[in-house]
Structure 1
Amino acid sequence: MTVPADVLTRLRELCLGLPETYEEQAWIGTRWRIRKKTFAHTFVIEDGHPEYYAKVATAEGTILTFRSPPEELHALSNGGHPFFKTVWPPDMIGMAIEDDVDWAEVAELLTESYRVLAPQKLGRLLGEG
């Protein structure tokens, strides 16, 4: 199963709107990168695969993973569905993308993920976060 086209389109618009980002196919799904660092990755969990994510996710279906700054990591990690904590890397959070997803929240989370990995010069282009 692949990420639904409408979800991929929304994520693409959000991610590629950030300075110097690019999209590429990942080992599964699609990821967006700043330089050589992945700040967002979307894929589908179906029938327990990929196994690593199926073990920690709060649901099957479309998943988005992203980085979180330390001050938000604890809250997102312990907030429950639709969020879940991945094992590695330590600052990565997963989120189930469902029909009622708050796209404004997703935009904020992706911008913060970008800031975590982008060079400070590029992060400053976004203004205050």
Structure 2
Amino acid sequence: MSDPGDVPPEILDRLSRICLALPEAYEEDAWVGVRWRIRMKTIAHVRTVDRPTGATGPLVVMTFRAPDDEVGAFANGGRAYFRADWGHNVVGLRFSRRTDWAEVRELLTESYRIQAPKKLAALLPDPAG
């Protein structure tokens, strides 16, 4: 049986570098796993789950916030994504060898924009380029 808080260091390190580059974001241990926050709002939460439905072993998952109009697309976007069973705009990502880290960076940046005060979110480059 795996420890649900045992996130592989290579995933944790990459997520930390992405999240901690965001203005005033910080990392902390969660009840299980690790989360990154802006003020008191969670940007992302990563943890290992033991034998989720359809998996053959432990799986690393991350939840994050998505724009309301994109939540349905994520929920129907294939095996990598799932709709969390809490929060109206919470989406999950299952990590695998094929995880696109450029996409993870974009997802986390968007989650930050949703959760951060407008003044801090405005410090990020415009996503439209």
Cα distance in 2, alignment partners of residues 77 and 108 from structure 1 = 17
Q: What's the CA shift string for 1:50-84, capped at 9, x where partnerless? A: xxxx46xx644100110001232121111121000
Q: What's the CA shift string for 1:64-114, capped at 9, x where partnerless? A: 110001232121111121000012111000110111110000000000000
Which of 80, 83, 93 is 1:82 aligned to? 80
Which of 63, 67, 81 is 1:69 aligned to? 67
**Is the aligned partner of 1:28 residue 2:26?**
no
Q: TM-score, normalised by structure 2?
A: 0.88
Residue aligning to 2:98: 100
Q: How many residue pairs end up in the alignment?
A: 121
Query: By how many angstroms is 1:15 displaced?
Result: 0.4
Query: By how many angstroms is 1:35 displaced?
Result: 0.3
Report the secondary structure of 2:103's partner residue.
helix
Which of 13, 18, 21 is 1:14 aligned to? 18
- The share of aligned pairs that are identical, in percent, is 47
Which of 108, 126, 129 is 1:128 aligned to? 126
Residue aligning to 1:51: none
Which of 4, 8, 22 is 2:8 aligned to? 4
Q: TM-score, normalised by structure 1?
A: 0.88
Cα distance in 1, alignment partners of residues 121 and 14 from structure 2 = 21
Cα distance in 2, alignment partners of residues 84 and 25 from structure 1 = 23
Contact 2:43 2:65 in 1 (8 A): yes
Q: CA RMSD in A?
A: 1.3
Q: Flag structure 1 segments of 5+ consecutive residues without an equivalent.
A: 48-53
